[in-house]
Chains A and B, each alone.
Chain A
Amino acid sequence: MKRAALFGGLVVLAWVAWDTGADPVRLINGIPWILDFLRRSVPPDPSVLPAALAGALKTVEIALLGTAVAAALALPLGFLSARNVAPAPLFQPARVVLNFFRSIDTLVYALVFVAAVGLGPFPGVLAVIAYTTTSLAKLYSEAIEGIEPGPVDAVTATGATRLQVLRYGVLPQVLPLFLSYVLYRLETNIRAATVLGFVGAGGIGFYLQTYLRMIDYRAASTALLVTIAMVMIVDALSSKLRARLV
Chain B
Amino acid sequence: MSAMIEVTGLRVVLPPAVVAVNGIDLAVQPGEFVVILGRSGSGKTTFLRAINRLVEPTAGTVRVAGRPVTGAGRVALRAARRQIGMVFQQFNLVRRACVLDNVLAGRLGYVPPLPSLLGRFPEADRALAHACLEQVGLAHLAGRRADTLSGGEQQRVAIARALAQAPAVILADEPTASLDPALTAEIMGILKSINSERRLTLVVSQHQLETALAYASRIVGFRAGRVTFDGPPGAVTPAVVEAIYGPSR
Contact = CB atoms under 8 A, between A and B. Distances in A.
Interface in A156-194: 156-161, 163-164, 167-169, 172-173, 175-176
Contact of B92 (A153, A161, A163, A172): A153
A154 interface: yes
Contacts of B228: none
Contacts of A164: 108, 113, 116-117
A146 interface: no
A150 B146 CA distance: 14
A178 to B, nearest CB: 12
Nearest to A155: B105
A87 interface: no
A151 interface: yes
Given A154-B88, A158-B161, A161-B78, A172 B94 contact: yes
Contact of A160 (B84, B86, B96, B105): B105
Contact of A155 (B79, B80, B108, B117): B108
Contacts of A153: 54, 88, 92
A173 B94 contact: yes
Contact of B96 (A150, A163, A167, A173): A173
A155 B108 CA distance: 8
Contact of B82 (A148, A159, A167, A176): A159
Given A167-B116, A167-B117, A154 B92 contact: yes
Contacts of A159: 78-83, 108-109, 165
A172 B96 contact: yes
Contacts of A150: 88, 90-92
A175 B94 CA distance: 12
A167 to B, nearest CB: 5
A169 B105 CA distance: 9
Contacts of B21: none
Interface string A192-207: 0000000000000000
Given A164-B116, A167-B116, A154 B93 contact: yes
Interface string B36-77: 000000000000000010100000000000000000000000
Given A153-B54, A153-B92, A173-B94, A158 B158 contact: no
B106 interface: yes
A156 to B, nearest CB: 6
Contacts of A176: 96
Contacts of B84: 157
B94 A169 contact: yes
Category for how many chain A residues contact B = 20 to 34
Interface string A131-149: 0000000000000000010
B97 interface: yes
Nearest to B82: A159
Contacts of B95: 151, 173
Contacts of A155: 94, 105, 108
Nearest to B158: A154
B86 A163 contact: no
B167 to A, nearest CB: 9
Nearest to A163: B117
Nearest to A167: B117
B73 to A, nearest CB: 13
Contact of A156 (B54, B80, B93): B54
Contacts of B109: 158-160
Contact of B94 (A158, A160, A161, A168): A168
Interface string A12-53: 000000000000000000000000000000000000000000
Interface string B173-184: 000000000000
A176 B105 CA distance: 20
A244 to B, nearest CB: 14
A50 B108 CA distance: 56
A207 B6 CA distance: 76
Contacts of B107: 158
User: Which residue of A151, A154, A157, A164 has the most chain B CB atoms within 10 A of its CB atom?
Assistant: A157
Interface string B102-124: 00011111000100110000000
Interface of A: 148, 150-151, 153-161, 163-164, 167-169, 172-173, 175-176
Interface of B: 52, 54, 78-86, 88, 90-97, 101, 105-109, 113, 116-117, 158, 161, 165
Q: What are the 4 tightest A-B residue pairs by CB atom distance, in nearest-first order?
A: A159-B109, A159-B82, A150-B92, A160-B108
